Amino acid sequence: MEPQLGPEAAALRPGWLALLLWVSALSCSFSLPASSPSSLVSQVRTSYNFGRTFLGLDKCNACIGTSICKKFFKEEIRSDNWLASHLGLSPNFLLSYPANYSDDSKIWRPVEIFRLVSNYQNEISDRRICASASAPRTCSIERVLRKTERFQKWLQAKRLTPDLVQGLASPLLRCPSQRLLDRVVRRYAEVADAGSIFMDHFTDRDKLRLLYTLAVNSHPILLQIFPGAEGWPLPQYLGSCGRFLVSTSTRPLQEFYGAPPDQAADLAYQLLSVLESLRSNDLNYFFYFTHIDAGMFGVFNNGHLFIRDAGAVGVIDKQEGSQEATRAGENKDIFSCLVSGCQAQLPSCESVSEKQSLVLVCQKLLPRLLQGRFPSPVQDDIDSALAQCGDSTRPDPEVLGAASWLKHILRPLRTCDSRFAYRYPDCKYNDKF
């Protein structure tokens, strides 16, 4: 049931509404402004459980001290529509929410608050956690997870090693190398004094947060260890905890399926370039998609395309090699079953080919952008390249060659104007853009 707030809510500043929701939903004993009516606080507390729905860790202090919690309490993230949306749906039905973010409370920019798993998955996950401890239908999620054998091993560990993540469903951890796991720990932004490959500075709660995030959805971790500021095709990470994430606001790729031909050519060209950078880069990591849909890619206001949802991205270390999870049992436990069935099997690392992501993109996304958009004979060449690129029966070199040919066709179809601010006005003076 969607909560209905009285007229008192209108008198509160937008920031206080978000703050009230955050504090009351976690049911902690924080003092509120004298002007805040107790009836409003009570109504929000009983009707909108932000802690369980979003965080996934039900103790009131589960996220205290994280960057995202600090931003909420400092009113650096504000939203006017936590309790209703343009769709008129309860918050439980939405996967993302628009909000505004500021570093100084003066300049604001749009951001999105993402639910890392659906509300249905939340409920299933909660039941599995309680059932794993033979507890009632509702239980203290954090208390149950703390008692697991896996987390007890994490508590004793000084370094994150492959055996500690075996059996987790995340594609990121299917073939983990020690170099990759060291990067996860060294760049994990939710702890003080980040930078060391050892976890000596992690508190017990820090370790549980990291383990839980890796088990639920690795997207926030990928944003931290491969940041857009270093050239990776990922949005800026602004904070996360449990089951939700805040990152820069974007438009999903499917909103551009009816774009003008030059814009469609530009987006298709960028998409192929993104896959090329994931396949070949200076760090010698090979990134691949386990599956693909248009919602996984987004476009900034400046026309720049990037990966909007990296939860289906796997990583193979070409430099150090990867330690694939053992096939017998794979060390499965409740952390293996938080978002998928416990019997779900990820493909072997050896079965992942260089062409895998290209084939998926050429089959499912590029035709929606490019088919029937250009005059002959250009359209004929595009259709031929798409057919070859999306043919999973072809060997890797042929698929990669078809993708390269398609990029060559698309390049002159892109125009140079202010709609493509990410490369304008540079494109007027340099053919590189």
3-class secondary structure per residue, the chain = CCCCCCHHHHHCCHHHHHHHHHHHHHCCCCCCCCCCCHHHHHHHHHHCCHHHHHHCCCCCCCCCCCHHHHHHHCCCEECCCCCCCCCCCCHHHCCEEEEEEECCCCCEEEEEEEECCCHHHHHHHHHHHHHHCCCCCCCCHHHHHHCCHHHHHHHHCCECCHHHHCCCCCHHHCCCCHHHHHHHHHCCCCCCCECECECCCCCHHHHHHHHHHHHHCCHHHHHHHCCHHHCCCCCCEEEEECCEEEEECCEEHHHHCCCCHHHHHHHHHHHHHHHHHHHCCCCCEEEEECCCCHHHEEECCCCCEEECCCCCEEEEECCCCCCCCCCCCCCCCHHHHCCCCCCCCCCCHHHCCCCHHHHHHHHHCHHHHHCCCCCCCHHHHHHHHHHHHCCCCCCHHHHHHHHHHHHHHHHHHCCCCHHHCCCCCHHHHCCCC
Amino acid 63: pLDDT:
67
Pairwise CA distance, residues 99 & 75, whole Å: 11
Amino acid 396: pLDDT:
96
Amino acid 220: pLDDT:
92
CA distances from residue 28 to 31, 38, 127, 145 in whole angstroms, order as listed: 9, 15, 24, 21
Q: Which residues of the chain fall short of a pLDDT of 70?
A: 1-65, 72-74, 79-94, 118-120, 122, 137, 322-330, 341-346
pTM attached to this predicted model: 0.81
Residue 167 backbone zone (phi > 0: left; psi -120 to 50: alpha; other: beta): left
Instruction: Assess whether the previous peptide bond of 227 is cis (omega < 30° from 0).
Output: no
N-to-C CA span, the chain: 51
Amino acid 339: pLDDT:
76
